[in-house]
Homo-oligomer: A and B are copies of this chain.
Amino acid sequence: MSTDISLRVLSESLGGKVLVRLRNGRMLRGILQGYDQHMNLILEQAEELDDENTSSKQLGTIVVRGDNIIMVSPTIKEKK
């Protein structure tokens, strides 16, 4: 099994929307513009979601440190 399996999933998600669950219990949604091997993420048009997954706060472009992330979920996108 390749070492960069999780990076491959992130690679396929570039340009698409992803959901990110953070350790502090918060959920983010944004367009994945980049990532690195620490799972640091660059999200554009990022927004914080409340419990019903509706947007509660606009964050714009953000750099999310990977060590705060529990899971990343690519949302459906056409070109995949």
Contact = CB atoms under 8 A, between A and B. Distances in A.
A24 B65 contact: no
Contacts of A68: 23, 70-71
A67 interface: yes
Number of this chain's copies in the complex? 7
Top 6 A-B pairs ranked by shortest CB distance?
A5-B34, A6-B40, A62-B73, A63-B72, A6-B63, A64-B71
A75 B59 CA distance: 9
Interface of A is mostly: mixed
B67 A63 contact: no
A69 B35 CA distance: 16
Contacts of A25: 24
